[in-house]
Structure 1
Amino acid sequence: MDKIKNSKLFDTLSKKMVWGFILLITVGTILLSLPIATRGMHGSTFIDTVFTATSATCITGLTVVNTATHWSFFGQVVILALSEVGALGYMTFAVLLFNIIRRHLNLSTQLMVKESLNLENLSDTKSVMRYVIGLSALFQIGGAILLGADFIPRFGWKRGLYVSVYHSVMSFCNAGFDVFGNSLRGFQDDSYLLIVTIILIIAGGLGFLVWRDLLLFHERKRLTLNSKLTLVTTSTLFVVGFLLLLVTERDLSLMPTHTSWFNRTVNTLFLSVTPRTAGLITLPTHQLQSGSVFILMILMFVGGTPGSTAGGIKTTTFGVLMLQSIAQIRGKKDVEFSHRRFSQTNISRALLLVFLASIVIVVATLILTQTERIPKGFGLEYIVFEVLSAFGTVGLSLGLTPHLTVIGKLVIMLLMFIGRVGIFTSLYSLSKRQTKVNQIRYPEENVLIG
């Protein structure tokens, strides 16, 4: 009975979360549809407006129109606000409002916050919310100050301050929008700017629960298993991705020959970080080596950490499955990490997540191969890269997004939505299943595998 009740509760919460994001996208679409939202008040087509609102709310950064040249200051601020709310979760701002008006959170609201931030216990709701709001403000304000030291001398106080705040928010939220027109390709030689951006991207993609554990380590003298696995997996992917990109890109041979070794290293570091759902780029993606594109696709599929501003299948899912594979190869029955054993439910959930994600990606790719045209010089990677970018809420592109057909835009929008809300949440909200308790268990038998 408890399992049935929990399932029904999860179904209800999933539907509320999905409808909350849909409402946010709708509000964004209405605001971006206003003439004042575009330069020259020329307006946008409905599908392009919905696409932009979806991309901002789902903190992806894929664009069908150039953010810098198409949207006015008002439109850019709307995109900024949608990205902020989409990154931290609309429930975060609901809780903030409750605190301002000094109202207590009811049980339903606490459960929504617990689900949106992937919390283990309901008792963590209030304390975690304080960390979410506090850390977000600290990183974004600090990032804006650090970036202002670079941008204000370049663009003056007014423009420099605006660009600093905008870029800080988009970097921390892993949103990928920019107000320069070509992402950060004009700042390849600015190592200071790239390092600050790398820190903001990692901070946003690491997850609020991990940050809370790190900040409270001096008191607790320990980290949770989730934080340990996250830090190990994130560090491993970062280092391995960096080393592989150094090899595949021949130490960024596509950069000018006079570029220093240090600057090449920083740009390679940036290239290994940005596919973790950040979407900002300093190099033309379509000019990267095939091996590099493949590495980026893998990193986009994995994504960031649960409860963070990142998308993908998440680092913990990848880490659990890697440990499961290693345990199986060694002939171990239990999957262990840091003197703890993962439950079979945990492992099964990770396997199901990867399987469902693979199905979604395959179906989306198949549809786009029928609706979109692949330019000469590209192969299937032209479409798969875009699909993974949308699903992982990354925002990188090989050039397909601005040329998508209406059907293609709908597919990409759905992928961005699923990637941000989560596969499980999306499926639970759409399904009308009833939890069944099997009264009969059939005899066990094996089939040939491999």
Structure 2
Amino acid sequence: MIEISGHKYSFPKILTLGFLLMIMAGTTLLSLPVATRPGLETSFMTALFTSTSATCVTGLTLVNTAEHWSFFGQVVIALLMEVGGLGFMTFAVMMSLMIRRRMRMSTRLLTQEALNLDHLSQLNVVYLIIKLSLIIQLIGSVFLFVAFYPEYGWRRGLWYSIFHAISAFCNAGFDLFGNSMANYAADPYVLCVLIVLIIAGSFGFLVWKDLLGYHQYHHLSLHTQLALRTGAFLMLLSVLVYFLTEHNLSQLSGQLSAPQRALNTVFMAITPRTAGLITFPYNKLSAAGLSFTIILMFIGGTPGSTAGGVKTTTIGLLAIQSIATLRGQKDMEFAHRRFTQENIYRALTLLFVALVILLIAIFLLIETQALPKHDSLSYVVFEAVAAFGTTGISLGITPQLNFIGQVIIMILMFIGRVGIYTVMFSIFNARPKTKSYRYPEESVLIG
């Protein structure tokens, strides 16, 4: 608990309020006339929606980012993506380090909560987050500048390089081209640079810490092993499924060669889990492809990363638990270790609450929005999961949402980025209580 002006606030509530303050600050800046291109106006809801989407590194927008926002507005969006992607507590710690001020225990505990750390000894990962993030984005910007400079010149090319390096690494999904990365569908160089940036951002900083320290300790934590194996499995599965459902993107055979379509399939297998950058409209996908994309967006990336969704480790843990249960095994084993019962309970709760939130949101969207007559349920489910997974891929209905629809999507983006547990604990003011008694156990029929 942290006491502010005589009032005590839990760590989850502080984190939730911190993200809300960031969103409101971004809304204020985007509402300024200087943030909009001459001749255009920005409503409060447009500024609020864009600020929420950028802070929650989602990428869903009501207006075209390239055409609506001025350079100032684009800089604000880039800063919101950076702070939202790495977490505002990371920047608070960075400021403490810059002024060489010793962090209070409350700040250390709050940072631990924000970065999903198990114990305070892992706080040195903050140094890694800051250094690694800046280095990766800087290198990514340099590589992108090589491609953008000949086409846009040094000023515009440099800004495009920085903006899209931030967007890709933070898995934010914003672009300055107006059609995401469709202009570069035939450019393997740009797509490969973006793929590396997206994967680097979705790894999770604890995973990076383990990998960079492997040469010294020759050991990977259980979290890292589960995250890497689940992520690799999902990536390979995604490539295989998209090749089968889309027939190597046969719908683009008149525009791209077979090798180019293969690379776009790989790009498509990576981006739906949270990145949101696309090389062609997703309404060109088959029904099977769209269904699989929804599953990927729901899963998301690794905990402690810039990604959203229920996270790969949640799905990996529950998959291992299910296999163990079906085999009649009591203990769930992985990499010569057993997962704690608390891990299992949290994963099950997270999955259940996520499904409940999405079902309620989908029902409300269907009831309140003017939707396409053809396959309206698919449009709503896709949009809702894209917001919750902070993916940002859209089938095109976001700009047509009314006030209620915009609020629902913003709530989903916020929950997806801040985290279900953090938001729910803030709402219900959860405080662990130890009872002096326990009721007798009794079984019920399952399945």
The answer to whether the 8 Å contact 1:241/1:272 transfers is yes
Partner of 2:132: 135
Name which of 322, 327, 332 aligns with 1:325.
322
Number of residue equivalences: 442
**Deviations 1:351-372 (CA, angstroms, capped at 9, x unpaired):** 0000000000000000000111
CA distance in 2, matches of 1:322, 1:115: 26
Counterpart of 1:274 in 2: which secondary structure? helix
Name which of 226, 240, 247 aligns with 1:229.
226
Partner of 1:400: 397
The answer to whether the 8 Å contact 2:52/2:414 transfers is yes
Q: Structure 1: give runs of 5+ residues left out of the alignment.
A: none
Give 1:185 deviation, angstroms.
1.1
Q: Structure 2: give runs of 5+ residues left out of the alignment.
A: 3-7
The answer to whether the 8 Å contact 1:11/1:428 transfers is no
Give the counterpart letter for 1:254 in structure 2: Q
**Deviations 1:374-431 (CA, angstroms, capped at 9, x unpaired):** 2133231100001000001110001111110100000000000000110110011111
The answer to whether the 8 Å contact 1:285/1:398 transfers is yes
The answer to whether the 8 Å contact 1:281/1:396 transfers is yes
Give 1:76 deviation, angstroms.
0.6
What is the CA RMSD across the aligned residues, in angstroms?
1.5
CA distance in 2, matches of 1:446, 1:117: 37
Pair 434,18 (structure 1): closer, same or farther in 2 beyond 3 Å:
closer
The answer to whether the 8 Å contact 1:37/1:43 transfers is no
Give the counterpart letter for 2:147 in structure 1: D
The answer to whether the 8 Å contact 1:274/1:280 transfers is yes
User: Are 1:199 and 2:196 counterparts?
Assistant: yes
Name which of 270, 283, 297 aligns with 1:273.
270
The answer to whether the 8 Å contact 1:35/1:41 transfers is no
Give the counterpart letter for 1:43 in structure 2: E
CA distance in 1, matches of 2:436, 2:114: 33
CA distance in 2, matches of 1:214, 1:432: 37
How high is the sequence identity, in percent, across the aligned residues? 51
Partner of 1:259: 256
CA distance in 1, matches of 2:426, 2:89: 17
Give 1:93 deviation, angstroms.
1.0
Partner of 2:87: 89
Pair 11,241 (structure 1): closer, same or farther in 2 beyond 3 Å:
farther
The answer to whether the 8 Å contact 1:67/1:178 transfers is yes
Per the normalisation by structure 1, the TM-score is: 0.96
CA distance in 2, matches of 1:35, 1:26: 16
Give the counterpart letter for 2:138 in structure 1: I
- Superposition map of 1:289-328 within 5 A: 289-328=286-325
User: Are 1:28 and 2:26 counterparts?
Assistant: yes
The answer to whether the 8 Å contact 1:57/1:86 transfers is yes
**Deviations 1:80-103 (CA, angstroms, capped at 9, x unpaired):** 000000001111111111111111
The answer to whether the 8 Å contact 2:40/2:68 transfers is no
Name which of 419, 422, 425 aligns with 1:422.
419
Pair 443,121 (structure 1): closer, same or farther in 2 beyond 3 Å:
closer
CA distance in 2, matches of 1:202, 1:292: 21
Give 1:433 deviation, angstroms.
4.7
The answer to whether the 8 Å contact 2:30/2:76 transfers is yes
CA distance in 2, matches of 1:301, 1:193: 27
User: Are 1:342 and 2:339 counterparts?
Assistant: yes
Give 1:153 deviation, angstroms.
1.2
Pair 221,180 (structure 1): closer, same or farther in 2 beyond 3 Å:
same
CA distance in 2, matches of 1:145, 1:76: 19
Counterpart of 1:183 in 2: which secondary structure? coil
CA distance in 2, matches of 1:205, 1:298: 17
Pair 98,250 (structure 1): closer, same or farther in 2 beyond 3 Å:
same
